[in-house]
Copies of this chain bind each other. A is one copy, B any other.
Amino acid sequence: MAHARAMLDNHPREFGFSAEHLAAAIEACFDCAQTCTACADACLAEDDVASMRRCITSDLNCSDVCVATGRVLSRQTDYDAAVTQRALESCIRACTDCADECEKHAQHHRHCAICAEVCRACVAACAELLGDEVEEEMRALQGG
Structural contact, A79 and B61, CB atoms closer than 8 A:
yes
Bin the interface of chain A by size: 35 or more
* A53–B80 CA distance with the chains assembled, in angstroms: 12
Please name the residue on chain B nearest to A78 by beta carbon: B54
Within the oligomer, what is the number of copies of this chain?
4
Structural contact, B38 and A60, CB atoms closer than 8 A:
no
* A71–B2 CA distance with the chains assembled, in angstroms: 17
A127: interface (CB < 8 Å): no
Structural contact, A31 and B45, CB atoms closer than 8 A:
no
Residues of B contacting A78 in the complex (Cβ-Cβ under 8 angstroms):
45, 53-54, 57
Residues of B contacting A109 in the complex (Cβ-Cβ under 8 angstroms):
10
Please name the residue on chain B nearest to A100 by beta carbon: B80
Structural contact, A61 and B53, CB atoms closer than 8 A:
no
18 contacts between A and B (CB under 8 A): A3-B114, A7-B39, A7-B115, A30-B34, A37-B71, A37-B74, A45-B53, A61-B71, A64-B72, A65-B72, A65-B83, A65-B87, A67-B67, A86-B92, A87-B90, A87-B94, A89-B89, A90-B90
- Ranked 6 nearest A-B pairs via Cβ: A68-B68, A7-B38, A54-B78, A90-B90, A86-B90, A10-B110
